[in-house]
Amino acid sequence: MISAIRHAIVPLRILLGAPFRVFFALVAIHAAATMLGWVAGLSGMARLPAGWHAHELLFGTLPGAVAGFLLTAMANWTGTAPLSGRPLAALAALWAAGRLGLWFSAGALPVPVAVVDMAFPLTLGLYATTVLVRQCHYRSLALMVAVAALAAATLSSHLGNTGALPGAAGYAQELALSAALTLMVIIGGRITPAFTNNWLQRQGRPRAARARPALERLVLGSTLALLAASLLAVPEPWVAPLALLAAVANGARLAGWSGWQARSEPLLWILHLGYGWIVLAMALRGAAPMLDGLSASAWLHATGAGAMGTLILAVATRVALGHTGRTLALSAGGLAIYLLILGAGLVRTAVAVLPGAPYREGLMLAAGGWIGAFLLYALLYGPILARPRPDGRPG
């Protein structure tokens, strides 16, 4: 018995050694379980609260993934020690409490559930903002705006799903996905060109991505403006030109990174494809009010099933290797993770875009790809996350 407890404690200590370890492991399990629960509900095998699966993916999976990356990257940006041990365990427990509250919310009081659920993004945002300000790393405070928007969207989702504020759930989804786009534009804009240039230099080839300050200002400005439009619930016909401008700016940014030069490296081309989903989502949002027959929800699915799913797994696979001192080479079977999540995004977006697409079959196929991708990540990378670094260094 004592031996079994010791065997369980050692991996737990390792998982709590760095934010990416515990949060990426939790997120992979949660993302797959949430979609499995949704499939069970769609099949009539389970009864779930209204808006449950959308809420869990946007306010469970997404903030957990953001915490895993942000708390890890922030230590590198500021030179501070990453959150670990008991403080990290407390933050992870807060995230888990919110998830358990939603899973069993049918018999729970809505106010305590909402308070616990909102506590995680608020605590994450407050902690990260404090560290960034203390270290004078003001450049990253735009990320905190998106985290604050996620907290506001969490509250709105609860108000809508409980009937306290009819229509608020739809507003919450749009705001959360706009916040997700903002986070992915900022984070993707830092890591994708940097990783691509580093890889090209190791290959003895010249840098591909070069700084274009005017374009970068346009990208960030138009993306933040889209977030503000969602926050203020600006009518979509008015948002459309701004969304198209953001799509063009982000498309030019992506093209400037010359991703095709890294087409032989899966850990890189998946980042470029993930960013391509961002461009598509913005373009669909801009085109929807102008094109008859194009669903207004198409951009939501391109963002969630496409960009969000792809970039979470793209970052999680790379970080699990690089930050544990392992060789940056996709694990055997890792390519299937990328193909499954890309397929899930394509099918789910196609169902929303194409009027004649088989709806139920498409949903099930997309859900299967999503579940398979995150479960495979848990199986292949979970052991890596729960093992110490080969070089014996902490973290």
Instruction: Write down all domains in the chain, each with its CATH number in brackets.
Output: 2-385 (1.20.210)
Return the structure tokens found at 332.
């055997």
Residue 375: Cβ within 10 Å count = 20
Q: Which pLDDT score, from 0 to 100, does residue 353 have?
A: 92
- Cα–Cα distances (Å) from 43 to 34, 153, 322, 360, in that order, read 14, 28, 40, 10
294 in helix, strand or coil? coil
Average pLDDT over residues 334-342: 97
Q: Using an 8 Å Cβ cutoff, are 337 and 313 in contact?
A: yes
pLDDT of residue 44: 78
Say which DSSP state 107 is in: G
Percent of the chain at pLDDT exceeding 90? 74
Q: Which range is least confidently modeled, 137-146, 238-247, 301-310? A: 137-146
pLDDT exceeds cutoff 50 at 8: no
DSSP H helical ranges for 16-61: 19-42, 52-56
Contact yes or no for 199/265 (Cβ under 8 A): yes
- Return the residue matching tokens 């850990």: 267
Q: Which residues contact 220 (CB under 8 A, 6 or more apart)?
A: 142, 185, 186
pLDDT at 1 > cutoff 80: no
In tens, the pLDDT along 167-196 reads 898 999 999 999 999 999 999 999 999 999
DSSP 136: T
pLDDT in tens, 67-116: 999 999 999 999 999 999 999 999 999 999 999 887 776 555 678 888 99
- Residue 363 in this model has a pLDDT that exceeds 70: yes
pLDDT at 359: 87
User: CB under 8 Å to 44, separation ≥6 — which residues?
Assistant: none
Write out pLDDT tens, residues 119-171: 999 999 999 999 999 999 998 999 999 999 999 999 999 888 877 888 898 99
User: Over 80: is that where the pLDDT of 2 sits?
Assistant: no
For the chain, what percent of residues have pLDDT higher than 70?
96
Torsion of CA 302, 305, 310, 312, to 10 degrees: 120
**Which structure tokens are listed for 304?**
């969630």
Cα 30 to Cα 20, 25, 55, 377: the distances in Å are: 15, 9, 12, 12
| Window from 123-127, 313-317, 354-358 with minimum mean pLDDT | 354-358
Dist CA 178 CA 224 (whole Å)? 9
Q: Is the pLDDT of residue 389 over 50?
A: yes
Alpha helices in 203-235 (DSSP H): 213-231
The span from the CA of 100 to the CA of 103, in Å, is 5
Instruction: Give the pLDDT mean for 37-43.
Output: 87
Per-residue model confidence (pLDDT) at position 6: 45
H helix intervals, 43-109: 52-56, 62-78, 85-103
